[in-house]
Amino acid sequence: MGKVIIERIEIVSFGKLKTVQIIPGDGINVLSAPNESGKSTLAAFIKFVFYGFTTSRMQSIAENDKKLYTPWDNPQAEGALYIKTDGGSYKISRKCAHGKDFVEVVNTRTGKSVNTETPGEYFFGVNEQVFEKTAFFKQLTLPSSKDEYIAEQLQNIALSADEKINTSKAQKKLTEARNLLSGRAKSGLIPKLEAEREALEQRISEAAETSRQIQELSDKIAETEKTIKNNGETIRRLTDERENILKFEAFQRLTQIRELIKNEEKAKKEYEEARKLLKDQELPTGAQINAMMVLNAEYNSELRAKEKLFDELQKEEAELQAMQDQKDMSKEEAESIRAQAKKKSAMGVLFIILALASAAGGVLLPYLFAAAAVFAVLAVVGFAGVKKVLKAHNISRMRDLELKINSFPLAAQRLAEKKNKVAAVNNAYAELVGKIDGIEKKLEESISQYTDIKPDMSFAEQIEYISETAQKIRQKQTVYKTAYEVRERATANVNMQELIAEADGAVKPEREKAKVEQELNFYTQQTALLEKKLREYEGQKRYLEGKGYDLAVLLGKRDAVSARLEEYKKKHASLELAIKMLTEASDYMKSTVAPRINAYASDYFGRATNGKYNTLSVDTSMAMSFADSTGIKSCDYLSAGTRDSAYLCLRLALIRLLYGNITPPLVLDDAFGRLDDDRLEALLTLLAEAADCQTFIFTCGDREENILKAAGKAYTALSLNTVTC
């Protein structure tokens, strides 16, 4: 896999760090910040992404990474690393929340996921213990004198190495090797491999069951994906159908709007034509029409009153004329006639009395009867003379004459009254004519405001024409206003060009929109449920794939363990035979791994000490020693700073040996506190030139940066000020 480079660090929430993004360089990266600013937290985050929290069972907060780096205000640690390898670029995301750890590794070029729960083992080929004891420097200290885990790793390498074993101490070494393979109390590599093979058999059984479950989930996933695909095609078809319905609705709306525009234009034209029927001013109100009608009613009433008064005037004038034209006797003539009549009547009475007296005397004197007769004739003549006088004056009876004489004062009074009445009626008539002329003028003024006076039409007909025309105009105006408002509402917030474009290509739908929407919602919801189910299946599958090992891998591991076991058994048998034949064997480490470890470490140590010490060696218990002019000595005799340099050199050598052809990032957290400037410069030069690995140096001072600058070594300065909260 070659060199592993961290290209970007993204921290969502980890310890005190939140929403941090850092872009490191390929070589040396230096983060200078005060104590408690988050340097160690950043270092722990890098290991967390590769290996997770591996000390979560420790009770002490200082020893329990999970307790130490889970933010108290947000119970989850989360972030990602973007790395580059010879095999491609990857994003490693990890989140630890509510006691559950979630990790995802994705190839950023292909988008494919990598099936691994421990990215560090996948990319570096070593577990967390080896990584922490080699490439991860957490406040650098000397190694334990009995670092059994690293020693065991080196011994495993030794047993599979190709170097020839030094036979100077073969007997002792073979015995140790035999005991290493299989010692007392079932100790040694063979019992361990037998236990490992037994454990692998158990895991193979579990993996087979897991594989069966994975296959079932795979079948469900395939079936669900097929249904989702079919639903997708149905949804696309229904979506096209709905889009056509929407287009057709847009077409209908466009047609409706066009019809509304046409109706509006028609109503406007009719209104404008109607408006021309009256003069261009405000239309008469109902009150104004009523006022004209009242005025016209008054006018008609006064006309009728005028006619009636005219008739009355003519009648009165006729009666007056009749009274004036009537040829009748005067009072004096009547009294003269009455005197004549009375005289005639008195003579008749006298002759009657004489006749009666003569008749009465005729009893005594018969001749008096003749006188009585004469007197009677004279009496008749006298009374006839009365009638003749009355008749000559067209008087029937004396009583009528008396009545006539008595009526002379009343007739004079009636004549005077008649003359007064004729004068009064004549004045009233003249006044009424003036009033009618005023009303007529007002009517003409009122009517002429709205239309020209039409002589051939009565005022009532003209008022009715104005009223009906105004009503017609208002109706046309109302129709136009309604059409305008309807069109305005219909076109409010409507872009006609967009509507025309939207309606383009519309075809009358075969089904109702509600039916299509119902089916579309059904398939959409069903697809959402299926996608949710698919994610569940995929999650279960990933869980099972991550929970168990691949069966083929387990079988391969079992076969490899069996092969190693058989090989170790053969070696054990060979060692048993060789022990009898050999008397001496070389030191186990010095004959196999030690030469390579020592060669690597010595080369690095010589560079780190500017050539002062060119030999650094380690034995099977990881105890370090160096050589000077006086001989080989334990590194315990070195100063603290030099021991730190030696330990770093040993770690670099272990990385070359234990990681094979993989170069992991090197993390040094406050590792150089005990080194002087010269020794630090040499060590930094070693890291810059010989280590060939991406290096992170976290320090609370600026010595490292100053030395790198002075030495002209390229580096990248990191900062936690990139936090974006």
pLDDT at 425: 85
Q: Which long-range contacts (CB under 8 A, 24 or more apart) does 107-110 make?
A: 108/82
Per-residue pLDDT tens over the stretch 400-454: 666 766 666 666 777 788 888 888 888 988 888 998 899 889 888 888 888 888 8
pLDDT at 63: 67
Q: Could you tell me the pTM of the whole model?
A: 0.44
For the chain, percent helix, then strand, then coil, each to nearest 5?
Answer: 65, 10, 25
Cross-strand partners of 162: none
- How many Å apart are CA 440 and CA 446, to the nearest integer? 10
Residue 160 pLDDT > 50: no
Asked which of 119-123, 196-200, 319-323, 428-432 is least confident by mean pLDDT, the reply is: 319-323
Say which residues have a Cβ less than 8 Å from residue 661's Cβ, sequence separation at least 6: 1, 2
Per-residue pLDDT tens over the stretch 675-716: 888 889 999 998 888 778 899 999 999 999 999 999 999 999
pLDDT at 133: 85
Contact at 8 Å (CB) between 166 and 586? Answer: yes
Say which residues have a Cβ less than 8 Å from residue 612's Cβ, sequence separation at least 6: none
Tally of CA atoms within 13 A in the half-sphere of 654 that contains its CB: 30
From edge to edge, which strands make up the β-sheet containing 5-14? 17-22, 5-14, 76-85, 88-97, 100-107, 113-114
Sequence spans of domains, the chain: 330-392
Contact at 8 Å (CB) between 634 and 127? Answer: no
Please give the distance of CA 579 from its chain centroid, rounded to a whole number: 84
For residue 26, give the nearest of 52, 53, 3, 51 by alpha carbon.
3
pLDDT at 330: 62
pLDDT at 409: 65
CB atoms within 10 A of CB 566: 12
Share of the chain above pLDDT 70, in %: 81
pLDDT at 329: 58
Per-residue pLDDT tens over the stretch 537-551: 999 888 887 776 677
- How many Å apart are CA 520 and CA 673, to the nearest integer? 69
CB atoms within 10 A of CB 416: 10
Cross-strand partners of 103: 94
CB atoms within 10 A of CB 528: 12
Residue 229 pLDDT > 90: yes
Per-residue pLDDT tens over the stretch 165-208: 334 445 566 677 777 777 665 677 788 888 888 888 888 888 78
* Over residues 48-73, mean pLDDT: 74
Residue 519 pLDDT > 80: yes
Per-residue pLDDT tens over the stretch 67-87: 778 777 778 899 999 999 988
pLDDT at 579: 65
